Amino acid sequence: MKSGFPERAHVALRDMQLRRNLALATTTIRGKRAAVTGERGDWEELRVAGAAIKRRVLRHLEDYLLQFESSVQRAGGSVHWARDAQEANEIVVQLVRRTGASEVVKVKSLTTDEIGLNDALTAAGIRPIETDLAELICQLADERPSHILVPAIHKNRVEIRDLFRREFGLPDLTEEPTELAGAARAYLREKFLSTAVAVSGANFAVAESGSICVVESEGNGRFCTTLPETLITIVGIEKLVPTLNDLEVFLQLLPRSSTGERMNPYTSLWTGVAPGDGPQEFHVVLLDNGRTNVLADEVGRQTLACIRCSACLNVCPVYERTGGHAYGSVYPGPIGAILTPQLVGTAEAGSLPFASSLCGACAEVCPVKIDIPQVLVHLRGRAIRERTAAGAGERMMMSAAGWALAGERRFRWARRVGRLVQRPFVRENKIERLPGGLSGWTMTRDLPAMPRRSFREWWNGR
């Protein structure tokens, strides 16, 4: 059986290093984010504008896609359309093959992780080189990134030193972060100067002009989008914004929400091909890969507004304790819990919408005002309806849970009923054995009995 969130979370919870690193990372970024959003007297107005622009794009996506396509072509680029991951990978492989290159440099891109581009390139005999420091670390260590923003947060400096010593042949390298970064700089610089093809993702794609915007810190994005002769950019169809002026909203929302900076070190914005400056061949691959399924769900649709800032990860108590790997998906944390099941189906990732306590912290920080708890509850209902293989008792309980979790009043009521029903099974505040079809829930662990008073009841009664 494929392991779900509960099994992977169990493994992660035991990993102390990961928990310490994550707690440090999330606390640090949380503090910085709070400071730079707090200093803006118009933060809420920016969020309202960001959400509205995305709503406009998504409700009229067809028009904007067509406008974007013709803008890119007018500016000297080519546009390709990919229904799914496989088609996108085939397009990229073919484009790289045409150049005769055997290596490509890559800018950190969740979208290319999502479609498994690196594996596809490798299978085709093309070596993908990740150029973002953390992605490079993950690539060299053959591990999956664990955080959208700091993908190597699960590794400490000594582990990175050992990895670089081995991979770069630098036996005397110390674990000083400056030295480690210097080693990566030297290694990648040679690649930047000699590689003919780059693959990037996009933070924003502007329908009006065909421009692509990439937001970053290290400068690898600038290198990849400037030096190679050929640039291939993979764009999820939801990344569009209508006009250049709309960037004024997102270039304020994203860095402050993401790294907690007033502005990230580098933002690149390019439009097709510029004679004498940068790549002379430019391709955009517009990717669906499940996005139109998300679009078709009226409640789930708002998920596509996500600008991948990772603020929701950093405030999530579940994420802080389990880490990114537990989600078993490219998109971890609260956004992963709502995006992944919609992209790949609740049959595949049905446990993810349950990986949340519905505390609502994510929705409060989301710069584009995605109501993550609302989508979670909606998807829980869907997952439960689709779990036809489950036993009758469990199915009944699950649909009762789905019903109860879908509304706060109902949830409170169900809690009271639950307290009555559980009585015959409770011993010393634990439920050690449930009957019949529900026994699977207590086979390997005791269930805590429902407390006499919930946290919320206690809080309200203080």
Partner 1 sequence: MTARDVILARVAEGLRDVPTGELADDIDVPRDYFRTVEGDAVERFIERISAYKTTVKRVAPADLAQRSAEQLRSRGLGRIAIPPDLPDEWLPSGVKLLSSALDVQALDAVDGALTGCALAIAETGTIVLDGGARQGRRALSLVPDYHLCIVDEQQIVGTVPEAIDLIAASVRRMLRPVTFISGPSATSDIELARVEGVHGPRTLDVLVVSPA
x/- binding map, residues 117-146, to partner 1, per CB under 8 A?
--------------xxxx--x---------
Among 2-10, 91-99, 281-289, 364-372, the segment contacting ligand SF4 (CB under 6 A): 364-372
Nearer of residues 223 and 331 to partner 1, judged by Cβ: 223
Nearer to partner 1, 55 or 430 (CB): 55
* 62 counts as binding partner 1 under rule CB under 8 A: yes
Count CB-CB contacts under 10 A for residue 85.
20
Q: Is 163 in the site for partner 1 (CB under 8 A)?
A: no
Q: 449: Cβ–Cβ under 8 A, 6 or more apart, which residues?
A: 422, 426, 429, 430, 431
Smallest distance from partner 1 to CB 77, Å? 11
* Binding status of residue 313 toward partner 1 by CB under 8 A: no
C-alpha dihedral, 89 to 337 to 291 to 91, nearest 10°: -10
Question: Of these, 37, 109, 252, 351, which contacts partner 1 (CB under 8 A)?
Answer: 252
The Cα 374–Cα 453 span in angstroms is: 25
- In the region spanning residues 295 to 314, those forming contacts with ligand SF4, defined by CB under 6 A, are 306-312
- Binding of partner 1 at residue 209 (CB under 8 A)? yes
Q: Give the residue, chosen from 121, 284, 366, 383, that forms a contact with ligand SF4 under the rule CB under 6 A.
A: 366
Q: Are 232 and 198 in contact (CB under 8 A)?
A: yes
Kindly identify the residues of this chain, within the stretch 316-375, that bind partner 1 according to CB under 8 A: none
Q: Is 152 in the site for partner 1 (CB under 8 A)?
A: yes
Which residues lie closer than 8 Å to 239 by C-beta, 6 or more apart?
A: 202, 203, 204, 205
Rounded least distance, CB 410 to partner 1, Å? 26
431 lines the binding site for ligand SF4 (CB under 6 A): no
* Closest to partner 1 by CB, 297 or 348: 297
In this structure, are residues 51 and 304 in contact, taking their beta carbons and an 8 Å threshold?
no
Binder of partner 1 out of 14, 142, 171, 277 (CB under 8 A): 277
* Interacting span for partner 1 (CB under 8 A) from 40-48, 321-329, 439-447, 451-459: 40-48
Give 161-212 as a DSSP string: HHHHHHHHT-TT--S-HHHHHHHHHHHHHHHHHH--EEEE--SEEETTT-EE
Least Cα distance to 345 among 390, 399, 289 occurs for 289
Give the distance from CA 160 to its chain's centroid: 23
Q: CA 307, CA 413: separation in Å to the nearest integer?
A: 37
77 part of the interface to ligand SF4, by CB under 6 A = no
Rule CB under 6 A: say whether 367 interacts with ligand SF4: yes
